[in-house]
Amino acid sequence: MNKWIFLKVLALGFFAFSTAIQITGCANIVPPGGGPKDSLPPYLVAAKPHDSSLNIQPKEILIAFNEFIASSSIQENLVVSPSLKMVPLVDAKLNMLKVRILDTLLPNTTYSFEFGNSIKDVNEGNIAKNFTYVFSTGDHLDTGTLNGSVTLAETGKIDTTLIVVLQTAEKDSAIFKEKPLYYTRIDGKGKFAFHFLPYKTYQAFVLPNDYTKKYDDSTKLFAFANEPIAIQPITDSIHFYVFQGAKKMEKKRATSGNKAATKMGAILKYNRNLDGSEQDLLKTLNLSFETPVHLNDSFPITLCDTLNMQLEGYQIYIDSAHPETVVIDYPWTAQTKFHLIVPKSSIKDSLNNTLIKTDTLAFITKSEAAYGACIIRINGFNEKLNQVLLLTQDDKVKFSYPITKNTLNIQKLPPGDYHLKLLNDRNQNGVWDTGSYYGKAKQQPEIVQLLATPLSIKGNWENELILIINK
């Protein structure tokens, strides 16, 4: 007997046996004892219709594996391309998958059913990675591919909850109005891949994997390709930089008892960002309130020496990004004592509430020994990109330094461990700027690159680091 025919008969026999198990009833699944540990993932032994079938319009697909499979999260992980209006129903029992298609399929179209990493065996949890079933309603299978990667522009990190979507190139507004034709998920390394695509031209985007799969909110994470992409057997890889077009507005906490508070008089309270009674030489002194406030010029806040003599050269203002914060900006000198006099009526909220009394804050600036110095020798920076070195902790930028030559000399840094990032500062304003897709002025975000070399600063110590930037 021909070897291929023999294997085909054997697979169909296993398929029939598996189907019979489902029909005749349930059985206790008892893993065999002894022997070597199973390290192989489940694999397909038969399918109806056959995998890669042509000229079919199935309403139901049955897939048999060589061993019992776990059924958790298979429905949630299924990605059908091109997209269907109604999500297919997936049922998994023993070693079988049953997929019911509820839509009418398009003619002359290749459909792929990607199960991601959701199929695994029962006993050891071995994963059938990226298991895909494919068929065509026409006389051939499409073989176009598109590969690429996705990173968050502001942090350089990866977000695996995002998806890459393809929309028809002829409709500029499709991403605002329609679900995507094709979409795929991003893996833990930020990579994505489309397979079985027709040789057509598409617009490509990145979106959150929400139920709409449309760009209907500028506060959503988003990315776009500058030009439509013509699909080939192997299409050039594309890199997306994801941005948030607009920041989400934080809802202000409702304050209770405002009417009663007005009758009672002053209720304003604040926190200060002092470290105990010490002021950081590298920071402004901030007074933070629960609600937005404004300054009363008739009763100004004053920065004084210990004799309460007013100093010169300081600035006091409301933080434009945080209207509940009063900022005192001054070129602090080490180991110096100060008084900050905050009159009762110097600060008011929208209801004209004031402080309960005049405050005098006594504090001292930190010593030089509380900081470390650092020399960073840089190999490979590109002066044409206006690069800025970002020092971050907990994914927040603590310090930034424009790179103008191959040596960066930092005189003061608080001790601690910093992650380093590199900002390509397109407009040279020293901060990361987001992108835009609404309107005619489409613009990609500025790019932040993660650097693998950490920076560890010890207090009262001259630290040194050699930093290599990949071009």
CA torsion 361→364→370→374, rounded to 10°? 90
235-244 and 221-224 strand pairing = antiparallel
Q: Which of 244, 266, 291 lies at the terminal end of a domain, its last residue?
A: 244
Q: Same structural domain for residues 235 and 295?
A: no
Does residue 47 register a pLDDT over 90? Answer: yes
In percent, the amount of the chain with pLDDT more than 90 equals 73
Q: Same structural domain for residues 130 and 166?
A: no
Closest CA to 333 of 361, 366, 302: 366
Supply the DSSP string of 300-320, one letter for each residue: --EEE-TT-PBPSS-EEEE-S
Per-residue pLDDT reduced to its tens digit, 308-344: 999 999 999 999 989 999 999 999 999 999 999 999 9
Q: Same structural domain for residues 286 and 354?
A: yes
CATH of the domain at 116: 2.60.40.1220
Domain count, the chain: 4
Q: What's the domain range around 102?
A: 3-19+40-136
Q: Same structural domain for residues 80 and 49?
A: yes
Q: Same structural domain for residues 148 and 230?
A: yes
Per-residue pLDDT reduced to its tens digit, 396-414: 999 999 999 999 999 999 9
Say if 251 falls within a structural domain: no
Tokens 């009663």: give the residue: 260
Alpha carbons 168 and 215: distance in angstroms, whole number? 15
Cβ–Cβ < 8 Å for 150, 222: no
Alpha carbons 447 and 434: distance in angstroms, whole number? 9
Q: Tell me, what's the pLDDT at 262?
A: 44
Say if 362 falls within a structural domain: yes
What share of residues in the chain are helix, strand, coil (percent, to 5)? 10, 40, 50
Q: Same structural domain for residues 97 and 149?
A: no
Average pLDDT over residues 362-381: 95
Say if 334 falls within a structural domain: yes
Q: Tell me, what's the pLDDT at 159?
A: 96
Q: Same structural domain for residues 120 and 160?
A: no
Q: Which of 348, 368, 388 lies at the terminal end of a domain, its last residue?
A: 368
Lowest model confidence (mean pLDDT) among 26-30, 211-215, 434-438? 26-30
Does residue 90 register a pLDDT over 70? Answer: yes
Does residue 391 register a pLDDT over 60? Answer: yes
Instruction: Indicate the average pLDDT of the chain.
Output: 88
pTM equals 0.80
| Residue 251 pLDDT class (50, 70, 90 cuts) | low
Does residue 261 register a pLDDT over 50? Answer: no
Say if 253 falls within a structural domain: no
Q: Which of 96, 112, 136 lies at the terminal end of a domain, its last residue?
A: 136
Cβ–Cβ < 8 Å for 141, 133: no
| Residue 181 pLDDT class (50, 70, 90 cuts) | very high
Q: Same structural domain for residues 80 and 91?
A: yes
Asked whether the bond before 82 is cis by omega within 30 degrees of 0, the reply is yes
40: tokens are 């192989």
Alpha carbons 43 and 64: distance in angstroms, whole number? 8
Average pLDDT over residues 361-370: 97
Say if 186 falls within a structural domain: yes
Q: Same structural domain for residues 52 and 105?
A: yes
Handedness of CA 281, 282, 284, 290 (dihedral sign): negative
Q: Same structural domain for residues 263 and 361?
A: yes
| Residue 252 pLDDT class (50, 70, 90 cuts) | low
Q: Same structural domain for residues 233 and 193?
A: yes
Does residue 24 register a pLDDT over 90? Answer: no
Q: Same structural domain for residues 302 and 388?
A: no
Q: Tell me, what's the pLDDT at 267?
A: 79
Q: Tell me, what's the pLDDT at 35?
A: 56
Does residue 115 register a pLDDT over 50? Answer: yes
Q: Tell me, what's the pLDDT at 33?
A: 53
Alpha carbons 325 and 287: distance in angstroms, whole number? 6
Amino acid at 159: D
Say if 279 falls within a structural domain: yes
Say if 27 falls within a structural domain: no
